C-alpha cells in the first residue's frame, strides 16, 4: 500500500483501523530524510501488514503535541487507533520490520 500523509484534521481516521506506523518528521530533519527511503522499502516488503502514514510536525503541531513528540523522527505504531509501541531516531529496515511484525 502507498505511504499516506496525515494532517491534524484527518489523523484519527488514518490510524483508527488496523496496524498503522506513523512517521513524525520535518523537512529540515536530516535523520528524517535518511529514514524516508527505508520506509518506502518497508512499505514494499510488508505494506500488506501495515499502513505507513507520515505527519509533518511543523504543519501539524496539534497532533505532534497530543502524542508528546519531542524529537524526530519518531515512529509510533498504532493498532486500531491505540498506541502499541514507538521508536525514536533512525533505524535500519530490518529492525523496523521486526518492530512492526511483533504486532502484525
Task: Give residue 1's pLDDT band: very low, low, confident or very high (50, 70, 90).
Answer: confident
Q: From CA 16, how far away is CA 78, in angstroms rounded?
A: 8
Question: Which residues share a beta bridge with 50?
Answer: none
Q: Which residue has the cell 483508527?
A: 16
pLDDT digits (tens, 9 = 90+) for 19-31: 999 999 999 999 9
Q: What does the mean pLDDT of the chain come to?
A: 97
Percentage of the chain surpassing pLDDT 70?
A: 100
pLDDT digits (tens, 9 = 90+) for 30-75: 999 999 999 999 999 999 999 999 999 999 999 999 999 999 999 9
Q: Of these residues, 6, 22, 32, 100, which one is catalytic? A: 32
Q: Which CATH number is 69's domain given?
A: 3.40.30.10
Domain count, the chain: 1
Q: From CA 62, how far away is CA 96, in angstroms rounded?
A: 26
Domain that holds residue 40: 4-102
Task: Give residue 89's pLDDT band: very low, low, confident or very high (50, 70, 90).
Answer: very high
Quick one: pLDDT at residue 11?
Answer: 98
Q: At what angle do helices 30-46 and 93-101 cross, to 10 degrees?
A: 60
Q: From CA 101, how far away is CA 27, in angstroms rounded?
A: 28
Using DSSP's 3-state secondary structure scheme, residue 19 falls into strand
Is 48 assigned a catalytic role?
A: no
Quick one: pLDDT at residue 36?
Answer: 97
Q: Of these residues, 3, 4, 8, 29, which one is catalytic? A: 29
Q: From CA 12, how far away is CA 38, in angstroms rounded?
A: 24
Is 62 assigned a catalytic role?
A: no
Using DSSP's 3-state secondary structure scheme, residue 85 falls into strand
Amino acid at each position: 500500500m502507498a505511504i499516506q500523509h496525515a494532517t491534524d484534521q484527518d489523523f484519527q481516521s488514518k490510524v483508527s483501523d488496523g496496524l498503522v506506523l506513523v512517521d513524525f518528521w520535518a523537512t529540515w530533519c536530516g535523520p528524517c530524510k535518511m529514514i524516508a527511503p527505508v520506509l518506502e522499502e518497508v512499505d514494499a516488503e510488508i505494506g500488506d501488514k501495515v499502513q505507513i502514514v507520515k505527519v509533518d510536525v511543523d504543519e501539524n503541531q496539534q497532533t505532534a503535541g497530543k502524542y508528546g513528540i519531542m524529537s524526530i523522527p519518531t515512529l509510533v505504531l498504532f493498532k486500531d487507533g491505540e498506541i502499541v509501541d514507538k521508536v525514536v531516531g533512525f533505524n535500519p529496515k530490518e529492525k523496523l520490520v521486526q518492530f512492526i511484525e511483533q504486532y502484525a
